[in-house]
Amino acid sequence: MRRIKLLQYEGFTSFLSSLMAIVAGLLVGLIILLISNAEDAFPAFITILKGGFLDGTRGMAQVIYFAIPIIMTGLSVGFAFKTGLFNIGASGQFTLGAFVAIYIGIKWSFVPEQIHWLVALLGAMAAGAVWGSGPGILKAFFNVNEVITSIMMNYIGMYLVNMSIVKTVYDSLKNQTKPVLKSAILPKAGMDKLFNTGNVSIGIFIVIIAVIVIYIILQKTTFGYELKACGSNKEASKYAGINEKRSIILSMVIAGALSGLGGGLLYLSGSGKYIHVLDVLAPEGFSGISVALLGMSHPIGILLSGLFIAHLEVGGFNIQLYNFVPEVIDMIIAVIIYCGAFALLFKQIISRFIKKGTSEDIEEPQQAAKIPVAAESQVVNSETEENDTEQREDN
Amino acid sequence: MEYVIEMNNITKVFGNFKALDDVTFKVKKGEVHALLGENGAGKSTLMSVLFGLYQAEKGSIKINEKSVKINNPNDASSLKIGMVHQHFKLVHNFTVLESIILGRETVNMGILKKDDARKKVIDLSKRYKLRIDPDAYISDITVGMQQRVEILKMLYSDSEILIFDEPTAVLTPQEIEELMKIMKELVNEGKSIVFISHKLNEIKEAADRCTVLRKGKYIGTVDVATTTKEQMSEMMVGRKINFNIDKNDIETGEAILEVKNLTVIAKNSKKNLVNNVSFEVKAGEILCIAGIDGNGQSELVYGITGLIPINEGQVLLKGKDITKESVRKKSLDGMSHIPEDRHKHGVILDFDLKQNAVLQTYFELRFQKNGFIKFNAVKEYAKKLIKQYDIRSPRDEDSTVRNMSGGNQQKLIVAREIDKDPNIVIAVQPTRGLDIGATEYIHKQLIAQRDQGKAVLLVSLELDEVMDVSDRILVIYEGEIVGDLAPKEITVEELGLYMAGSKRSDKYEKN
């Protein structure tokens, strides 16, 4: 009885369906490994599964290092999703944030040393926010689709950053940015000793704070209520007297700030990472979409899915030992996301299973019947009206 | 006795909920057979079983005396069953002709040939007197014409059994009359019609026999001619319904809402959608704006409530100019708005009941502190509304509004708007698509507001509602007020003339 109650809980079915997507993705990965080299496939597969656990604390540090930027961009995309916007521009916002963080980290030596890194991070957030606000303003006032504008902003951002690097903080020998001042590198706060490597810093705590803040905004505040209302039904929000233009813009500004912070956190981590002057969009922005999808746009889900994908990436790095290419991981992640799109189908399968489980249980018969209804209504969102008539009958 | 449809002992279960319980439904050839029941009685489910959208757990179906199994809508259409859904399923950027032939296109070597189809469609439309313009786009035509397109679509595929799912819910009185004629025409041509409805007047007018369902159970089949409306409604609801609305005369007070020379000009056509409209609503008065759909009522209300900008004119609430104020400010000043389109404006379908209950008040201090929502207060408030206004839903305040029935969604909106203790309630078609019980309830609430000395502005397309509920009627035609009438002094026919624009009061001479 208790088990079934747990299954009836919406969040839990979401979690289960994500889990099913992950299993499907891993199986495909295994098949690819088997095809390319059957002999080493299983040890390599186990390496992938072990991922960050293989190398003790250093492995875990590596997972955290990979996870920080993609959790932030994931939060950015997921937050925008929740408010009805598709922020595909996380990449541009991320790059802008990274550049401004580095710029402040190198040039603003006048800032007191103790808070230099903090100022750099705030600068990164501000830059991302500005970059996010563009599509937001266009959407709010001229109803221009934010997907198109934010893709454009990605390219504008990338070239702008490349240009600015060459003009200001360029290391022409390596075609990349110069190293930032020591004071701008994130404090380690003993994390390096704990994990026995230099890659970790307080960055992960900042990420966790961001996750909690976003969770609170969305779930607990009137501000989040307004944003979600505009995301679900713009017209009704207008009717309710919510300033929907302001909500759209703020939502993109916050999303941009999150991505920008992600850029700052990665490039100020003191791991020897620099922006290379290349005509390539920052991949972290697009990983963010995967992370948000897998985490079902829920802040906590994004935190977990970001860690999970980073875990796989570390595993992918390690399978090079067996002469496999790390790109296998990208394929696995792609399949997981692909199956994630079927999450609703999985949900239905799960709820059908629940229905069978409870049909002998007379105690709570109605609840079981309701979950498929809810799931169905999401699948055929476009046919809202029809569903309503059907559900009227159901109720 | 020849039956075209015989559905015997149909039982359909959703989860543990019996949507249909041992229902028997038989339709004779060449009759209009009404299927009557309240929302949720199982009418649509029964027809969905017939149309192959659902499979029944128990029971058998015979079409033309032959046992059949209908697994999907394609099976149904090969059995010549056609259905016009309550919400039309048309592609908006297709032309009328393209919509009709969709799925049954005539092709030559993979290339669409529309000439034959056009001829057939025009023939059909002439034969059944279904006026359409084959080249108009669906998005540009009226709801009534969209319905005729749906009917033609069925006829185009040679359907013999036509199912109309609440066809009149979206139509104007004139269009309803026309539909009734069309149905008679179809029956005369030998088609059989199933007519789903909960409106007794229409059933009385159009149907030969009537099967009544209540809560998924078969109640009975009666001859419409020999059964009174009261008897049918009692079968449907299970109790006696009072058709007469009790209303005492009360004194009207000061003017609450004043609208002066309000004009709204269409964005792209420069046409005056609302043309120099002035009126006032007094305390203790239900003022009804009557008119055929699309004559500027919606724009008038949107203009007053601030959802669209107005081009000229003034709106005064209790003497205070609120023309330029925001929607929120107007709401705080005591303007309640029960919107025309409840899914578009009235509720957020993916939010739950309690979140929708505070849609306009979430920012008030009783529901938030320093920007944090007081969940307990919201919950208690939703519980109060549920109790006080009898809103029924699967999981009370936690139910997602999408999963609530239309009647209860509307009750929630009415509850929310009335509970704000407004000065004026603006209700636009508040009973559209609702069953008798819910309609009766909402009328009572509006009258109660009036009796408390509030002003009520009612916009309605239903003549019965206009005549029964209002204290004063303004008729709107092409964006202008053409008549100021008292319901007790005019007949429905006269009102119809005003609505059709063929009559004007002296005060409103055309200038």
- The string of pLDDT tens digits covering residues A83-100 is 889 999 999 999 999 999
Q: Is B181 on the interface with A (CB under 8 A)?
A: no
The CATH number of residue A232's host domain is 1.10.3470
Q: Is A390 on the interface with B (CB under 8 A)?
A: yes
- Do A313 and A333 reside in the same domain of the chain? no
A323, A338, A362: which is the final residue of a domain?
Answer: A323
Please state which of the ranges B59-63, B159-163, B378-382, B399-403 shows the lowest mean pLDDT.
B399-403
Q: What is the distance, to the nearest Å, from the Cα of residue B383 to the centroid of all Cα atoms in its chain? A: 28
Please state which of the ranges A23-32, A175-184, B489-498 shows the lowest mean pLDDT.
B489-498
What number is the ipTM of this complex? 0.74
Determine the residue among A83, A237, A239 to mutate to test chain B binding: the one whose Cβ has the most chain B Cβ atoms within 10 Å. Answer: A239
Helix, strand, coil tally for chain B in percent (to 5): 35, 30, 40
Which A-chain residues 165-224 have CB contacts (< 8 A) with chain B?
220-223
Please answer yes or no on whether B406 and A392 come within 8 Å at the CB atom: yes
What confidence tens digit (pLDDT) does each residue in A103-148 have?
A: 999 999 898 988 999 999 999 999 999 999 999 999 999 989 999 9
pLDDT of residue B215: 82
B237, B264, B294: which is the final residue of a domain?
Answer: B237
CB pairs under 8 A between A and B: 134
B363 contacts on A by Cβ (under 8 Å):
222
- Do B458 and B500 reside in the same domain of the chain? yes
Nearest CA in chain B to A233: B348
In the predicted model, what is the mean pLDDT of residues B260-266?
Answer: 90
On whether residue B373 sits in a domain, the answer given is no
- Do A369 and A239 reside in the same domain of the chain? no
Q: What is the distance, to the nearest Å, from the Cα of residue B459 to the centroid of all Cα atoms in its chain? A: 13
Q: Is A10 on the interface with B (CB under 8 A)?
A: no
Beta-carbon contacts of A223 under 8 Å, excluding residues fewer than 6 positions away, are A217, B371
Determine the residue among A237, A370, A376, A389 to mutate to test chain B binding: the one whose Cβ has the most chain B Cβ atoms within 10 Å. Answer: A389
Looking at the DSSP assignment, which residues form a beta bridge with residue B6? B26, B62
A299, A323, A347: which is the final residue of a domain?
Answer: A323
Please answer yes or no on whether B16 and A366 come within 8 Å at the CB atom: yes
Please answer yes or no on whether A238 and B405 come within 8 Å at the CB atom: no
On whether residue A181 sits in a domain, the answer given is yes
| A100 Cα to chain B: minimum distance (Å) | 31
pLDDT of residue B34: 92
Please answer yes or no on whether A236 and B48 come within 8 Å at the CB atom: no
On whether residue A47 sits in a domain, the answer given is no
What confidence tens digit (pLDDT) does each residue in B165-184 have?
A: 888 766 766 778 888 888 88
Query: What share of chain A has pLDDT > 70, as a percent?
Result: 84
- Do B134 and B168 reside in the same domain of the chain? yes
The CATH number of residue B496's host domain is 3.40.50.300
B90 contacts on A by Cβ (under 8 Å):
none
Give the residue, B99 or B292, on which the prediction is more confident: B99
Please state which of the ranges A330-344, B84-98, B272-286, B379-393 shows the lowest mean pLDDT.
A330-344
- Do A300 and A353 reside in the same domain of the chain? no
- Do B64 and B102 reside in the same domain of the chain? yes
Please answer yes or no on whether A388 and B402 come within 8 Å at the CB atom: yes
| A358 Cα to chain B: minimum distance (Å) | 9
- Do B274 and B343 reside in the same domain of the chain? yes
Domain containing A97: what range? 57-323
Please answer yes or no on whether B40 and A395 come within 8 Å at the CB atom: yes
Residue A393 pLDDT greater than 70, yes or no: no
Please answer yes or no on whether A223 and B371 come within 8 Å at the CB atom: yes
Query: What share of chain A has pLDDT > 90, as a percent?
Result: 42
Cβ atoms of B300 and B313 within 8 Å: the answer is no
Asked whether the CA dihedral B234, B240, B244, B247 is positive or negative, the reply is: negative
B308 contacts on A by Cβ (under 8 Å):
none
pLDDT of residue A371: 35
- Token pair, residue B73, equals 């809508």
Q: Quick one: pLDDT band at residue A265, thresholds 50, 70, 90? A: very high
Distance CA A237, CA A380 (A): 22
B350 contacts on A by Cβ (under 8 Å):
232-233
Provide the residue type at B131 as one letter.
R
- Among the partner residues A222, A243, A395, nearest to B405 by beta-carbon distance: A395
On whether residue B377 sits in a domain, the answer given is no
Please tell me the total count of domains within chain B.
2
pLDDT of residue B1: 59
Q: What 3-state DSSP class applies to B28?
A: strand
Distance CA B202, CA A364 (A): 41
Provide the residue type at A185 as one letter.
I
- Do B201 and B287 reside in the same domain of the chain? no
- Token pair, residue B238, equals 């299970």
Please tell me the total count of domains within chain A.
2
Please state which of the ranges A187-196, A254-263, B156-165, B261-270 shows the lowest mean pLDDT.
A187-196
Cβ atoms of B455 and B425 within 8 Å: the answer is yes
Q: Quick one: pLDDT band at residue A388, thresholds 50, 70, 90? A: very low
Distance CA B438, CA B451 (A): 20
Beta-carbon contacts of A42 under 8 Å, excluding residues fewer than 6 positions away, are none
Q: Is A320 on the interface with B (CB under 8 A)?
A: no
- Among the partner residues B19, B327, B395, nearest to A241 by beta-carbon distance: B327
The helix-helix angle for B406-419 and B375-389 (nearest 10°) equals: 110
- Among the partner residues A223, A225, A385, nearest to B87 by beta-carbon distance: A385
- Do B233 and B268 reside in the same domain of the chain? no
Provide the residue type at B49 as one letter.
V
A390 contacts on B by Cβ (under 8 Å):
44-45, 48
pLDDT of residue B89: 79
pLDDT of residue A370: 36
Domain containing B178: what range? 3-237
Phi, psi angles (nearest 5°) of residue B98: -60, -40
What residue has token string 């206004």?
A: B389
Please state which of the ranges A335-344, B24-33, B186-195, B372-381 shows the lowest mean pLDDT.
A335-344
A323, A358, A376: which is the final residue of a domain?
Answer: A323
- Do A358 and A316 reside in the same domain of the chain? no
Please answer yes or no on whether A240 and B360 come within 8 Å at the CB atom: yes
- Do A360 and A292 reside in the same domain of the chain? no
Cβ atoms of B238 and B214 within 8 Å: the answer is yes
What confidence tens digit (pLDDT) does each residue in B383-440 have?
A: 999 998 888 887 888 888 888 877 888 889 999 999 988 999 999 989 876 777 788 8
Q: Is B349 on the interface with A (CB under 8 A)?
A: yes
On whether residue B294 sits in a domain, the answer given is yes
For residue A177, CA distances in Å to A181, A183, A333, B108 come to 12, 17, 30, 64
The helix-helix angle for A90-107 and A283-294 (nearest 10°) equals: 130
Nearest CA in chain A to B342: A236
On whether residue B392 sits in a domain, the answer given is no
pLDDT of residue B458: 94
Nearest CA in chain B to A374: B403
- Do A30 and A168 reside in the same domain of the chain? no
In 3D, which of B215, B315, B219, B228 has the Cα closest to residue B263?
B315
Q: Is B13 on the interface with A (CB under 8 A)?
A: no
Q: Is A393 on the interface with B (CB under 8 A)?
A: yes
A223 contacts on B by Cβ (under 8 Å):
371
Cβ atoms of A374 and A355 within 8 Å: the answer is no
Which B-chain residues 249-308 have CB contacts (< 8 A) with chain A?
305, 307
Strands of B145-191 (E only): list them: 161-165
- Among the partner residues A221, A241, A391, nearest to B403 by beta-carbon distance: A391
Q: Quick one: pLDDT band at residue A362, thresholds 50, 70, 90? A: very low
B14 contacts on A by Cβ (under 8 Å):
369, 373, 394
Q: What 3-state DSSP class applies to B10?
A: strand
On whether residue A42 sits in a domain, the answer given is no
Distance CA B312, CA B259 (A): 11
- Do A113 and A137 reside in the same domain of the chain? yes
On whether residue A44 sits in a domain, the answer given is no
B368 contacts on A by Cβ (under 8 Å):
222
On whether residue B353 sits in a domain, the answer given is no
Q: How many residues does chain B have?
A: 511
Mean confidence (pLDDT) of chain A: 82
In 3D, which of A241, A351, A376 has the Cα closest to residue B402?
A376
Cβ atoms of B494 and B323 within 8 Å: the answer is no
Q: What 3-state DSSP class applies to A88?
A: coil
Q: Is A365 on the interface with B (CB under 8 A)?
A: yes
- Do B73 and B185 reside in the same domain of the chain? yes
On whether residue B291 sits in a domain, the answer given is yes
Q: Is B16 on the interface with A (CB under 8 A)?
A: yes
Cβ atoms of B255 and B440 within 8 Å: the answer is no
B349 contacts on A by Cβ (under 8 Å):
232-233, 384
| A127 Cα to chain B: minimum distance (Å) | 26
Provide the residue type at A114 as one letter.
Q
- Among the partner residues B15, B359, B371, nearest to A369 by beta-carbon distance: B15
The conformation of residue A31, written as its DSSP 8-state character, comes to: H
- Do B184 and B312 reside in the same domain of the chain? no
On whether residue B435 sits in a domain, the answer given is yes
Q: Is A279 on the interface with B (CB under 8 A)?
A: no
